[in-house]
Amino acid sequence: MSSLTFTLQENLEAQRELEWRQHGVPESDILFSRNSGMDGRDIRAMRDYSQRGYIIVVRCPNPAARGWHGLLPAKNAATSANSGTWGVAMDKRGRMMVSDYDLMSVWRITTSGAEKIFISAAGGQKRGAYSPQAQSFLLEMNRLLVTKFQHGCQDDFRNAANRGVKPGDRFAAFALLTAK
């Protein structure tokens, strides 16, 4: 007799995939979630939103995070702990948080090409007033996402503390591509 064993992580991810299918998430978005670590519903939301004429570039979370989206809040900026092999970080009070998505850059497709939307405060600061276009984008996207964006675009921050791109980083780009 052979035994069939599953890890807790595999069981959690299988349950989440079942939920996503019940919410109408396409199989292609579920498959993409396996590589990106993102919630399948969020992949669908960003893909659909890009069809409004946007290019959205996101640094993907730890792949193990995908089962925890919607169950745990997103890791906030005040938490410096890295999400470990489970895709979960703990703050100083012991609260668990899922590895978040880092919004890297956003572009609006126009008749003359792609125009950058700066999603940061004036001068590339993390804190402060964002432009109305940036505010609108973040508000609209976060209404659609399970794991909300926690801040503006990493590529738009002009702070030396910005971690930049590191070996092993994985990115996803959402764009409506049309043939000419």
- Determine the Cα–Cα distance for residues 178 and 112; give it in Å rounded to an integer: 15
- Radius of gyration for the alpha carbons in the chain, expressed in angstroms and rounded: 17
pLDDT of 124 reads 79
Residue range 43-64: average pLDDT? 93
Average pLDDT over all residues of the chain: 86
CA 56, 171, 169, 143 torsion-angle sign: positive
Q: With the CA atoms of 35, 37, 42 and 43 taken in that order, what torsion angle do they form, in degrees rounded to the nearest 10?
A: -10
Question: Quick count: other Cβ atoms within 10 Å of Cβ 148?
Answer: 15
The pLDDT of residue 34 is above 60: yes
- 74 touches 147 (CB < 8 A): yes
Rounded to two decimals, the pTM is: 0.87
pLDDT, tens digit (0-9, with 9 covering 90-100), for 82-118: 777 778 888 888 899 898 898 999 999 988 889 999 9
